[in-house]
Amino acid sequence: MATPSGSGGALAPPTVSPATPAEVAEQLAGGGRVRPVGGGTKLAWGAPGIAPDRELSTAGLDRIVAHNDGDLTAVLEAGVPIARAQAAFALHGQRLTLDPPDGGGAATIGGILATGDSGPLRHRFGGPRDLILGVRIALPDGTVARAGSDVIKNVAGYDLAKLMCGGLGTLGVICEATVRLHPVAEATITVQAHAHDPGSLCAAARRLARHPLELESLDLRWDGPEDGGLLLARAVGRTVERSVRSLRDVLAAAGLESDQIEDDDELWAQQRDRQRAAPGGAVVRVSGLPADLERILRAAPSAVGRPALGLVWVRLQPDPGALAELRRAVHPAACVLLDAPEQLRAEVDVWGVGPGTELDLLRRVKQSFDPAGVCNAGRYAGGI
């Protein structure tokens, strides 16, 4: 059982560990505030919020309910560690194309969905919202509701599965999810190019992003003007060698020298790790556009990004001034503070959603699902 971190030295609340969705719903309806916990790897996300009366662990919901390999779908309980699910799928040559940093194997399906977390595979396969087909959720009114379906195409009912992805468990608790799977990647080769100047790095990234090669991942890494940055393109398939030649031609045309790395797993593990804060530091997710990348990199001491998606994870000193400066420099791109020391999260607006019609609507959604503020109170946008 993981222990909560970032609780500022306060006594940890008692933990309950329900074994069924109905028991989860009972806990939510049983009075008091609840903080859902999966593997405990992202508890330092969101505003510190109001101290919960108890933690609700999903460790008891740990079944791989179904792996329908012929249909490329799986039904997973929320507490299943993603590493365990991937090992099961791999036996059939399949995978869930979500590869966020997984905290050494502790991260659970429920936690990844609730935080909307993703990794380099998002370039080709999308994020949690794009891979979830159905969901079973426990709600604060004590009911268990299902939305979506177990098949890969369905338009009946509201898509509450997407609503839950990235909702940080503030509307209810994800108990079970149906996800879409893909075949495992055949041989991969990563092409790597270095540049000191963010301008040429981003220009090359834009060329690769519009090249009709089906890359597994397209990432960049930035270490500041001294060390410069890397562009990483991971080619895949039966004809991977040819794709690599083509990629290197594009990079050469963009004025960058490149090399190729066949044993590339470690390289991509590093990319994932750098979506997290350095020890004692902070990390901010910037929602930019491909055309904004250069400006974002110039404002970032250190970062990794998905250039075709415009998403960048910037590592910062845990200092309100550094966050304010970044927000000013990349405006109007949204900046969400992800993992960071509790003191910083208490001092700043973690989410950056200002007053207005959108925040009113977010509040109405919260009010409709969780009127008494049972679930993760105070941790979400606008103090939700």
Residues of this chain, 157-216, that bind other proteins according to CB under 8 A: 157-160, 162-163, 165-167, 171, 182-184, 186, 206, 209-214
- Among residues 56 and 139, whose Cβ is nearest to other proteins? 139
- Among residues 38 and 128, whose Cβ is nearest to other proteins? 128
Cβ-proximal residues to 147 (8 Å cutoff; 6+ apart), any chain: 134, 135, 137, 157, 158, 159, 160, 161
- Among residues 8 and 93, whose Cβ is nearest to other proteins? 93
Longest CA–CA separation in the chain, Å: 64
Q: Which residues ranging from 324 to 353 are in contact with other proteins (CB under 8 A)?
A: 333-334, 336, 351-353
Rule CB under 8 A: choose which of 231, 296, 308, 314 binds other proteins. 308
Rule CB under 8 A: choose which of 10, 104, 238, 279 binds other proteins. 238
Output the smallest distance, CB 69 to other proteins, in A. 8
Output the smallest distance, CB 227 to other proteins, in A. 27
Q: Which residues ranging from 22 to 41 are in contact with other proteins (CB under 8 A)?
A: none
Output the smallest distance, CB 282 to other proteins, in A. 16
Which residue stretches of 12-140 are H helix? 21-29, 82-90, 109-115, 122-125, 128-131
Report long-range pairs for 325-332 (Cβ below 8 Å, ≥24 apart): 325/299, 326/284, 326/286, 326/299, 326/300, 327/352, 329/295, 329/296, 329/298, 329/299, 330/286, 330/288, 330/292, 330/295, 330/296, 330/299
Rule CB under 8 A: choose which of 34, 147, 173, 348 binds other proteins. 147
Output the smallest distance, CB 343 to other proteins, in A. 21
- Classified as helix, coil or strand, 377 is coil
Which residue stretches of the chain are H helix? 21-29, 82-90, 109-115, 122-125, 128-131, 160-164, 198-209, 224-227, 240-253, 265-273, 293-298, 320-330, 342-347, 357-369
- Among residues 17 and 68, whose Cβ is nearest to other proteins? 68
Q: Which residues ranging from 249 to 288 are in contact with other proteins (CB under 8 A)?
A: 285, 287-288
- Among residues 84 and 124, whose Cβ is nearest to other proteins? 124
Structure tokens at 305: 């990004």
| Residue with token string 């779908």 | 73
Closest CA to 262 of 201, 171, 191, 330: 191
- Among residues 309 and 322, whose Cβ is nearest to other proteins? 309
- Among residues 34 and 308, whose Cβ is nearest to other proteins? 308
Output the smallest distance, CB 312 to other proteins, in A. 11
Rule CB under 8 A: choose which of 143, 260, 278, 298 binds other proteins. 143
Report if residue 106 touches other proteins, rule: CB under 8 A: no
103: left (phi over 0), alpha (psi -120 to 50) or beta: left
Report if residue 84 touches other proteins, rule: CB under 8 A: no
Report if residue 100 touches other proteins, rule: CB under 8 A: no
Output the smallest distance, CB 186 to other proteins, in A. 8
Output the smallest distance, CB 160 to other proteins, in A. 6
Output the smallest distance, CB 114 to other proteins, in A. 12
Q: Could you give the angle at the alpha carbon of 328 between the alpha carbons of 317 and 122, nearest 5°?
A: 70
Strand partners for 284: 314, 337
Report if residue 383 touches other proteins, rule: CB under 8 A: no
Closest CA to 134 of 99, 178, 193: 178
Report if residue 101 touches other proteins, rule: CB under 8 A: no
Output the smallest distance, CB 198 to other proteins, in A. 16
Burial 71-101 (b: 16+ CB within 10 A, else e): ebbbbbbbbbbbeebbebbeeeebbbbbbbb
For residues 173 and 101, give the distance between their C-alpha atoms in angstroms, rounded to a whole number: 22
- Among residues 3 and 367, whose Cβ is nearest to other proteins? 367
Rule CB under 8 A: choose which of 129, 194, 295, 298 binds other proteins. 129
The site for other proteins, by CB under 8 A, has a size of: 86
